[in-house]
C-alpha cells in the first residue's frame, strides 16, 4: 500500500519528490475510548540513494538537520494541527539509515482530522458519535466537490504516508468499514477500500471510512 494513502489525501497537490530520499513512514493514531488521540509518525530506514556522494550527503543532511531542531515536516505538520502541548521528536538513529519518531496529542480525533482536511484542501467531513457504550468515528471523503490545491506544513507531512494505523489504548474495535481490524485492537486502511476510493474519485462520488469501538465488549 506504499504511498497510495498519501496519494489519496494529496490528490489535488502536486506530488513533488524530494530528490532520492527513501524511507518508510507510518502514521499511528492511538485512540482513547473517549476519542482523544496521540498521533505518532514513525520514519524509519531513511537514506538517500543518490549515486553521487556529495549530493547524497547534502540530501541526507537536509533531512536530519531540521529533525534535530524540530523543524522537519512531521513536526511542523503536527504543530499546525494545534496539539495539546508540545510536539515531541525522538531521534532513534542519528546516522544513515535514520530513524525518527515524532508525536503529538489531541483532545478529539474528529477535530484534528477535520482540521487536517481543511489544511490539506480535502472535501469531506469527520464525525465522532457516542451512543451508550458504542463510539463511532466516520471519515467521509466527498469527490463530488473540487478539492483545493494546498502547499503547507500539513500537506508536506502527508505526502509520504505509507500506512495509517489506528490502535485502541483501552477497549476494542467492534465494527469497521474500510479497515482491516487485527485482534480487535489495531485497524489499518484496507487495500480494497483504497481501490474503492480511487474508483469513487473517478466517478465523483462520496466514500467513507467507519470505525466503532467500545470499552465493554
Instruction: Tell me the domain boundaries of the chain.
Output: 4-14+21-214
How far apart are alpha carbons 74 and 27 in whole angstroms? 10
DSSP tag of 148: P
Tell me, letter by letter, the H, E, C secondary structure of 157-193. Answer: HHCCCCEEEEEECCCEEEEEECEEEECCCEEEECHHH
Better pLDDT: 198 or 8: 198
User: pLDDT tens digits for 50-66?
Assistant: 999 999 999 999 999 99
Region of poorest pLDDT, from 3-7, 29-33, 142-146, 201-205:
3-7
- Give me the residue label for grid cell 474495535: 173
Give yes or no for residue 15 having a pLDDT over 50.
no
Q: Which long-range contacts (CB under 8 A, 24 or more apart) does 48-57 make?
A: 48/19, 48/20, 48/21, 48/22, 48/96, 49/20, 49/22, 50/19, 50/20, 55/19, 56/20
For 129-144, how does the pLDDT look when each residue is reduced to its tens digit (9 = 90+)?
999 889 999 999 999 9
What is the per-residue pLDDT across 68-99, written as a single tens digit (0 to 9) for each? 999 999 999 999 999 999 999 999 999 999 99
Pairing of strands 163-168, 21-31: parallel
For the purposes of burial, counting CB atoms within 10 Å of the CB of 210, is it exposed (0-12), middle (13-18) or buried (19 or more)?
middle
Amino acid at each position: 500500500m506504499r504511498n497510495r494513502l498519501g496519494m489519496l489525501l494529496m490528490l489535488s497537490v502536486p506530488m513533488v519528490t524530494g530528490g532520492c530520499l527513501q524511507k518508510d513512514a507510518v502514521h499511528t493514531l492511538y485512540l482513547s475510548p473517549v476519542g482523544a488521540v496521540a498521533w505518532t509518525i514513525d520514519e524509519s530506514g531513511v537514506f538517500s540513494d543518490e549515486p553521487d556522494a556529495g549530493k547524497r550527503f547534502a540530501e541526507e543532511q537536509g533531512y536530519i538537520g531540521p529533525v534535530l531542531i524540530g523543524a522537519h515536516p512531521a513536526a511542523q505538520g503536527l504543530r499546525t494541527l494545534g496539539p495539546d502541548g508540545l510536539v515531541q521528536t525522538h531521534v532513534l538513529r542519528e546516522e544513515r539509515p535514520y530513524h525518527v519518531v515524532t508525536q503529538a496529542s489531541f483532545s478529539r480525533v474528529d477535530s484534528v482530522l477535520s482540521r487536517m482536511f481543511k489544511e490539506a484542501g480535502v472535501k469531506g467531513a469527520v464525525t465522532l458519535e457516542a451512543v451508550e457504550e458504542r463510539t463511532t468515528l466516520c471519515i467521509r471523503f466527498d469527490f463530488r466537490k473540487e478539492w483545493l490545491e494546498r502547499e503547507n506544513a500539513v500537506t508536506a507531512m502527508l505526502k509520504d504516508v505509507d500506512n495509517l494505523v489506528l490502535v485502541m489504548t483501552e477497549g476494542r474495535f467492534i465494527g469497521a468499514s474500510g479497515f482491516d481490524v487485527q485482534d480487535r485492537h489495531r485497524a489499518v486502511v484496507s487495500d480494497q477500500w483504497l481501490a474503492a476510493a480511487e474508483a469513487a474519485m473517478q466517478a465523483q462520488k462520496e466514500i467513507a471510512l467507519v470505525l466503532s469501538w467500545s470499552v465493554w465488549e
